[in-house]
A and B are shown apart, each in its own frame.
Chain A
Amino acid sequence: MKKFISFLLILVLAFFLMTSLNSSLDFFNPPNSLDETRMSNAFIHKNASGGSDPVEFGKSTGLEDGSANIVTSVVVDYRSFDTLGEITVLFISALGVGLLLGAGTGAKQRSGFILKTAAKLISPLMMVTGIFIFTHGHLTPGGGFPGGSMMATAFLLNYFGSGSISTDLKSLKWMESLAGVFYIVIGLIGLFVAGSFLQNYLPTGTVGHLFSAGIIPIIYVLVGLKVGSEVSGIIADFSKSEVTS
């Protein structure tokens, strides 16, 4: 009876939420064209600093932001400072996990034959897929965060398969710190060369080519390496299995 009443309450709440949202935000009939004065329109047509030629895949050259993936161009170019904040949040959470669980020694994991063999086969492929995803972040869906997490998942699978962590954890920490430092250094170079922090100051090339989009691929490779080593470090901390309380 209690469950039924709570179900009814949730239904009523969802109904009110949907109707009140529907009156202000029309989910099911998006507008055909964006308002010309909105900033998001400039992000899509890549003319935030002037110029209004339509962007053509594989043809347009020398745009202010040469990324073919609009999500990437917003995340790593126009709103790159937010990404720096996200990376900081992830760093702080990894620091917290390390402080709480980082004592103790690594526990030996028992694993069956199927897991052992499959992990040997699949984890290198996952690692390569992760690297592919973050190096192609400016062309295809994905980017630094999913690619880095995929690398960390490959690390996790390898740990489960082989039973222990064979990677040198110090090298992970070095890679993480260096990637973070280089991100900020690239931003500071932008501040001195182009006039604003994290501005895209390299030539952007042709939209849709692998070597295009200026600093975006460089930053996404750094973000991918940082996220991958950081989450791998979190997994290693968890595997130590000794809660200090």
Chain B
Amino acid sequence: MSMVLILEWVVGIALIGGAIACVTTENILAAIVRLSLLSMVAVVAFALMRAPDVALTEAVIGSGLVTFVFVVTVKELFAKEDKNEEVH
């Protein structure tokens, strides 16, 4: 078994495990961080599959911008909910 094949297996199992960990958690912020980690693993998977273009895009968008958008949205939503609770 070559090193690359072992790495492929590790990355594949990490992808599935990361996806399950992301879906099953109750905490939304933790889910977002796990999604970010999942896309970091996906970058390695794309690089192993010889698609460096896709890997670059995934690294920038998947783990950078998407995380920002999700975190800001969740922050805004919780801030609004807190305000509503104070009013009632």
Contacts and interface: CB of A to CB of B under 8 A. Distances in A.
Contact of A149 (B53, B57, B80): B57
A146 B65 contact: no
B6 interface: no
Given A153-B60, A241-B76, A243-B76, A142 B65 contact: no
Contacts of B17: none
B52 A149 contact: no
Contact of B56 (A141, A152, A231, A239): A141
A14 to B, nearest CB: 10
Interface residues of A, number: 19
Interface residues of B, number: 15
Nearest to B73: A238
A220 interface: no
User: Interface on chain B toward A: helix, strand, loop, or mixed SS?
Assistant: helix
Nearest to A140: B52
B10 interface: no
Contacts of B13: none
A141 B61 contact: no
Interface string B28-65: 00000000000000000000000011011100110011
Interface in A138-173: 141-143, 145-146, 149-150, 152-153, 156
B31 to A, nearest CB: 16
A146 B57 CA distance: 5
A243 B76 CA distance: 9
B69 interface: yes
B3 interface: no
Given A238-B72, A243-B76, A71 B64 contact: no
A235 interface: yes
A152 B65 contact: yes
A170 B9 CA distance: 49
A225 interface: no
A235 B24 CA distance: 29
A62 to B, nearest CB: 26
A146 B68 contact: no
A153 B65 contact: yes
Most buried by A among B24, B55, B61: B61
A221 interface: no
B69 A71 contact: no
Contacts of A68: none
Contacts of A142: 52-53, 56
A145 B57 contact: yes
Contacts of B53: 71, 141-143, 146
Given A146-B53, A149-B64, A152-B65, 7 more contacts: A141-B56, A146-B56, A149-B57, A149-B60, A153-B60, A238-B69, A238-B72
In the A-B complex, the 7 residue pairs with the smallest Cβ-Cβ separation, listed nearest first, are A141-B52, A146-B56, A149-B60, A153-B64, A146-B57, A141-B53, A142-B56
13 contacts: A3-B24, A133-B56, A141-B55, A141-B56, A142-B53, A149-B57, A150-B60, A153-B60, A156-B65, A231-B65, A235-B68, A238-B68, A238-B72
